[in-house]
Each structure stands twice: as structure tokens, then as C-alpha cells.
Chains A and B, each alone.
Chain A
Amino acid sequence: MGIRSEGYDSALSLRELLSGVAPDKLLAALTVLLGAPARVVSADGAWVMGDNPPLAESASRLPLVHDLETAGYLETTAKDQARMHAATVMLESLMRSGARYFMASEMHLEVVKADYEELQRRHAALMASEARYKALAEKLEDRVKEQVNTIASAHRQLYQAEKMASVGQLAAGVAHEINNPIGFIRSNLVTALSYVQKFWTVADPVKSSGDTALIAAWQAADLDFVLGDFPSLLQESVDGADRVARIVSDLKGFSNVDQTGEETADLNDCIRSACNVAANQVNSRADLKLTLGELPPLRCKAGHLSQVFLNLLLNAAQAMKVRGEIHIRSGVENGQIVIRFEDTGSGIPAEVLPRIFDPFFTTRDVGSGTGLGLTVSRDIIIAHGGSIEVSSEPGVGTTFTIHLPINKP
């Protein structure tokens, strides 16, 4: 305790209470009022208004009370009690007025300071809140964009996957049904081939038998030629059956796009398999040329990549107004697998070129294309960490270039 608190309710000295009054004017007025010299001193005598010198010993000392305490004294040599009382009342009124002014201004300062601090605090809180919302809003826009892209991409893949799943089911069913008959057809053809050899063993005995009727019938039927041609016919049929079997197996591999797991694959195999599947549509429109360099095995979704290659191949084939050439090249450049699909088709007009990867963009007639082929292709390539670019010149042809990073060992 004993520490004087600052603020509107702190105790005030006589000097502070009379600070609003000009000392010489007040003392002059007091002297006139009392008809004798006057002096105003603080209770402890430390402060004297106007630094007036002490009065005679006989001077009266009248207490000046403020806030229940004697704050100072009015000293005067006057003898008139009424005048002395009036002077005291006047001084005390002045002190009271001073106190009132002091308290009001102190309180005003405290309130202004508190209000200002509160304002500052709210301002800071508002700024922080604004910054937070700003950041949130900025992030929100990005997040929404990102989310929209993710959803759209997922949607396209789902659409494609479903399409491929139904194609795959069909292909698997067909493959299963074809495999069996192809198996026994091939087996029978090989057996037939060995049977034909047996006919040759009959030829010499027939010719040397001297039986002219038999020989004439042999020659009439031209069996020498028949027996000579028969094995190559059968051999061609065996080859044909093998080709059917290969296409069926490619088709099966192709339709495995719903197997989303990664596997290690040689992309050249994927390209060849795509060519086999598309052979019918491609061969009627273009000559297919493959220049496949050696590629390192790649951890990838081979079914998905095969789908990309098939898309590009079919697009190239469809771009042919007249019979042209499709050239697929693969190789490793700058540590990346690079695959190019070049065609001599009609090319893509410059105004269409920027839009070809957009979802549902198609130049084909309604019903003949979904407009998703290139979009999904790009999604797949990006999912593998790669990129796909296109360059085209109308009337000359189009080149799609795929870059795929080689997996880190």
C-alpha cells in the first residue's frame, strides 16, 4: 500500500486543484476581497501560490478542505470573519471545480484509451479474420478446380473402363468359344497334313503297278498336283488358325483394362497387340509400318497403354481420305520412352487442334464417336507421369508423340 494510484480517482494536491487559476490574478482578487494581504499554501507548506513571502506572525490560518481533508491553508492578516469565510468558500469552490475538471479529463482519457485499445484489438482480429478468409477463398478456388478435374477425369476413366469391361467380357466370351474349335481345327489340320504324306506312299506303287486303268484315273484326277498342293493348303490353314488364335489372345489381353494393377511390360508388345486388334480396320485404309527400337521393361498399366495405342491407331486409320501410311516408331530419347504415331492422313485444322483433348469434343458424326478417346488417352499418359503432344499439318498428316518416364529402378 501507500502507493498513490494514478487515474481519475487519485488524490489531488492543492497545486493540482488550483492549476487552472492564474496565481497573480487570484491573489490580487483575494487581497481586494479581504482588504489585507493573503497567501495560499499547501497543507505541508511545500507549495506556495505565486511564491509569495510569508506574512506576519499574527496572520490567521484558515484550512482549505477538499475531499474531506485539509489540502492547504489561506493565510491572511485580515480580521473580518465574514470576508475570511467568503474567501475560503470561494477558494474551496475553485478547488472543487479543478477537481471536477481533473477527474473528468482523466476519466475521458481512460475511456478513450480503453476504447482505442478495444478498437485496435477488434481491428487486429478483423484483419486476421480477413486474411484467413482471403487465404481460404484463394485456396477454395484452387481446391474446387482441382476437385472438378479429378471428378471429370475419374468420370471419363470410369466411362471408358465400363465400356472396356463390357467389351472385355464379350471378348473373353468370344475368345473362349473360338479357342476350342480353333484348337481342334488346328490339331485336325496337322493330322490331315500327316495323312497327306501317307497318300504319297501310295503314289509309287500305283504308278508302277502297270494297271493302266488305275494310272489313267490317277492322271485324270491330276492327283500328282493335288498331292503336291494339299500340304501347302493345309499349312496355310494351320497358319491361318494360328493367326486367329493370336488375335483372340490379343483381344483378351486388350480387354484386361479393368485389371488396374501395374505389371511389367514391354510397350512394343502392347503396340503389336494393338496393331493386331486394329489390323482389319487399318489394313483396308493404310499401310502399317513399325519401327520399334528396343525398350526397357516398364512398370505400367499395360492394358491402359494398349488402349491408348489402339485409340491413336484407329484415329490415324480414320484420318485417311485416300490410302496412306501409318508409321509407328518407338525408342528411348533422353532417358524417356518416346513413341510416335505418324500418319499421312488429312491432318487436323489449326483451329481444332487446341481442342482435341477436350472431353466430348469430336469431329465425327453423332453416334460414331464419344469424343472421349483422346481425353482418356491423355489422362492415362499423365497418370503414368508422361506427356502427349500433337503436331499436324492439314493435307500432310498428323504426328502424336508420347513421352513416358522410365521407372527408377
Chain B
Amino acid sequence: MAELDETARKLTIKLVYYGPAMSGKTTNLMSLHDLLSPDLKGEIMTLETQNDRTLFFDLLPLGFRTPSGWLIKLKLYTVPGQVVHDATRKAVLSRADGVVFVADSQRSQGINNSESFQNLEENVHRVGLNFKSLPLVVQFNKRDLPNVLTEEEIRERWSAAPWPLVMATALTGSGVRETFVRLLEAVYPVLDKSFSMHDAIGADARSFINAVTGESFGNPV
């Protein structure tokens, strides 16, 4: 759940990149850091790694100010993908406003993907969120690798699922921004309902997304 500070006129939104180990969650964050240019952009903070594997989480803060003077902060987190770090995953996931599930497109990773997705669903319930109403985007990463599932196969398999599907190669940045925008599109209506984004804060969906991604506020592309 996002945090609203009326006195400081500040809204903090939490977005989480979830997925199996080595699926490219941190790479997504690094790509986003390079691709996006919002008014306010922090450095990626990496907490504890072991052989380049995330132990706790990575954090990328983004933000902008609305013309009416509100500070909108987005905190993008990654979870550690390795199975043993479930308690950390659960802690990072708590109070999330939206989730990107980063799946590995390689054929060999099918089981890891589905186990991780199941783990996401369990942890969503365990931290008291509603899996049905939680904004979620599914990204199939590593499209550049050989021996990956074809896009048709993936769309066929996920045809019954209600979430947007995005194909991506986080290493080159392809699909990373699209994934993020699809998530913002899913998150905005929920935030608007809870905090009257449009009326009280003065940010409609388009200007909100433009501001986060780095188009100037209020000017559609």
C-alpha cells in the first residue's frame, strides 16, 4: 500500500520486480535507470550481493513533483530469486502496490518460472495482499538467447491469464520500458481510487506515466 504524507504532500509508491533466480530482475532495474529520465532519479542501491546474486534487494528510487507541489516517489525493488531467501522475498513484497514478474524465456526454466510464480501467489496472500486485484505485469525476459519458448507458445500458455505479457531483453533494454509502463497503467487506477490522484494530487494517468518515465509533466508525447 502506498504511503501518503498529507503534511509533507508526499506519496510513496512501492513496485516490486519478482521472479526466479537469474531471470534478470536487477538487469531490469539497471536498464530502467538508464532509460528513464524523470525529474528525480536516485542511484541504484544494491544491498549485499554474493557472486553477483542479490541477497537482500536492489532499490531504484524515482520521483517527480506535480504542478500542485506534490512529491510522487516510486521505489522499485527487486527480490532475491533464490529459493532459500523466501523470508526476504516476503518482506520486500509486503505493502507492494504493483509487481512485475520477470520470467526466464529459456525452455529449461519452465519449472523455475512456475514455482516462482506460485511462490509469488503464496507470498502475496501471506503479506495480506489480494492476488486478484494486485496490479501485475508478466515479462518474459532473455528473448535474445537461443532455445527460448516462442512468443506464440508463451501467449498460448498464458492466454487464460488476465495479466499483460511483455517480451523483453533486459540486457539491451528491449521491452523494459514497455513492461514498466504497462505496470504503471495497471497501478494508476488503484492509486486513483485510494488517493484521488486526479482530483487531490492533480495527476491524470497520462501525465503520471509521462512524468515517471521522463516526458515532461502534462505534455503527452
* B4 contacts across to A, CB distance below 8 A: 1-2
Interface string of B25-59 (1 = CB under 8 A from A): 00000000000000011110101100000001101
* Chain A 347-363 interface residues, beta-carbon cutoff 8 Å to B: none
Q: Does B63 contact A (CB under 8 A)?
A: yes
Question: Do A1 and B6 have beta carbons less than 8 Å apart?
Answer: yes
CB–CB B5/A67 < 8 A: no
CB of B87 within 8 A of CB of A1, answer: no
Say yes or no: B47 contacts A107, CB within 8 Å: yes
Looking at the assembled complex, report how far the CB atom of B77 sits from the nearest CB atom of chain A, in whole angstroms. Answer: 8
A68 in complex: contacting residue of B48, B57, B61, CB < 8 Å: B61
Bound Cα distance from A108 to B95, whole angstroms: 18
Assess the B45–A114 pair: CB atoms within 8 A: no
Known: A1-B4, A5-B95, A68-B61. A115 touches B87 (CB 8 A): yes
What's the least CB distance linking A97 to chain B, in Å? 10
Interface status of A8 (Cβ within 8 A of chain B): yes
**How many Å lie between the Cα of A103 and that of B92 in the bound state?**
11
Q: Which residues of A contact B94 (CB under 8 A)?
A: 7
Question: What residues of chain A lie closer than 8 Å to B5, measured between beta carbons?
Answer: 1-2
Interface string of A288-327 (1 = CB under 8 A from B): 0000000000000000000000000000000000000000
Is B88 on the interface with A (CB-CB < 8 A)? yes
* Residues on B with beta carbons closer than 8 Å to the beta carbon of A108: 56
Docked-complex contact A96 and B91, CB < 8 angstroms: no
Given contacts A67-B61, A68-B40, A114-B87, contact A2 B7 (CB under 8 A): yes
A-facing residues in B43-95 (Cβ within 8 Å): 43, 45, 47-48, 56-57, 59, 61-63, 71, 73, 75, 77, 85, 87-88, 90-92, 94-95
- Contact flags (1/0) for A92-124 with B, using CB distance below 8 Å? 000010011001100110110011001000000
Q: Which residues of A contact B47 (CB under 8 A)?
A: 100, 103-104, 107
Question: For residue A5, which residues in chain B have a CB less than 8 angstroms away from its CB?
Answer: 3, 95
Contacting residues, chain A, for B87 (C-beta < 8 A): 110-111, 114-115, 118
Partner of B91, one of A2, A104, A110: A110
Closest to B71 in A: A69
- How many residues does chain A have at the interface if contact means C-beta atoms less than 8 Å apart? 23
Whether A104 and B56, one on each chain, are in contact in the complex, defined by CB atoms closer than 8 angstroms, is yes
Does A242 belong to the interface (CB within 8 Å)? no
Chain B at the A interface: SS class = strand
**A115 — nearest CB in chain B belongs to which residue?**
B87
Are A9 and B75 CB-contacts (below 8 A) given A1-B4, A104-B56?
yes
Report whether B3 and A111 are in contact in the complex, using a CB–CB cutoff of 8 Å.
no
Within 8 A of B (CB), among A1-30: 1-2, 4-5, 7-9, 11
Nearest A residue (CB) for B64: A68
Q: Which residue of A lies closest to B40 (CB)?
A: A68
Residue of A nearest to B41 (CB): A68
Q: Which residues of A contact B85 (CB under 8 A)?
A: 111
Chain A residues, CB < 8 A from B92: 107
Say whether B75 contacts A99, CB under 8 Å.
no
Expressed in whole angstroms, the Cα–Cα distance for A69 and B10 within the complex equals 10
**CB distance B40 to A9 under 8 Å?**
no
- Closest Cβ neighbor of B89 among chain A residues: A111
Are B91's CB and A111's CB within 8 A?
yes
Task: Confirm or deny: B14 has a beta carbon within 8 angstroms of a beta carbon on chain A.
Answer: yes
- Taken together as a complex, chains A and B put the C-alpha atoms of A66 and B62 apart, in Å, by 12
Contact between A104 and B88, CB atoms less than 8 A apart: no
Q: Pick the contact of A8 from B62, B63, B91 — CB < 8 Å?
A: B91
The reply to whether B6 and A2 form a contact with Cβ atoms under 8 Å apart is yes
Q: Is the CB of A96 within 8 A of B45?
A: yes
Structural contact, B42 and A107, CB atoms closer than 8 A: no
Q: Collect the chain A residues with CB atoms within 8 Å of residue B75's CB.
A: 9
Return the contact of B56 from the options A96, A99, A107 (Cβ within 8 A): A107
Chain B residues with CB below 8 A from A7, complex form: 91, 94
Q: Is B90 within 8 A of A114, CB to CB? A: yes
Complexed CA–CA distance, A108 and B66 (Å): 35
Contacts of A114 in B (CB 8 A): 87, 90-91
A69 CA to B90 CA in the complex, in Å? 27
Smallest distance from the beta carbon of A245 to chain B beta carbons, Å? 88
Pick the contact of A104: B42, B48, B61, B90 (CB < 8 A).
B48
| Assembled-state Cα–Cα distance A5/B2 (Å) | 10
Cβ contacts under 8 Å, A68 to chain B: 40-42, 61-63, 71, 73
13 residue pairs of the A-B complex, CB under 8 angstroms, read: A1-B195, A4-B3, A7-B91, A67-B61, A68-B63, A96-B43, A99-B45, A103-B47, A103-B59, A107-B56, A111-B87, A111-B91, A114-B87
Given contact pairs A68-B42, A104-B48, a sample of 10 additional A-B residue pairs in the complex whose CB atoms are under 8 Å apart: A1-B195, A4-B3, A5-B95, A9-B14, A9-B77, A67-B42, A103-B45, A103-B56, A107-B47, A110-B91
Complex A-B, nearest 6 residue pairs according to Cβ-Cβ distance, in ascending order: A1-B4, A114-B87, A68-B40, A111-B87, A68-B63, A110-B91
Binding site for B on A (CB under 8 A): 1-2, 4-5, 7-9, 11, 67-69, 96, 99-100, 103-104, 107-108, 110-111, 114-115, 118
